[in-house]
Amino acid sequence: MNQENLTCKACGSNTFTKGEITNGYAFVMPIDKFLSSGSPVIYTFCKTCGEVASIKIKKPEKF
């Protein structure tokens, strides 16, 4: 997702940034793999109002 071509659905802004949740409680874990370390989640969101435009798994190969 290209941040330069986004328009916020909530406020109309076109200023976006990305943030990553990396603590152990916010990892996405595979349902059927008990020993997997999972993956952090990356959010693309509007810098004006905080509306989330995209949620992405950083390491999909873990699944």
**DSSP labels for 1-62?**
--GGG---TTT----EEEEEE-STTS-B--SS-TT---B-EEEEEETTT--EEEEEES-GGG
Residue 25 has pLDDT above 80, yes or no: no
Average pLDDT of the residues in 2-28: 85
pLDDT value at residue 31: 81
pLDDT value at residue 24: 63
Residue 52 has pLDDT above 80, yes or no: yes
Kindly report the pTM of this predicted structure: 0.77
Q: What is the pLDDT of residues 27-48, one digit of tens each?
A: 788 887 777 778 889 999 999 9
pLDDT value at residue 2: 64
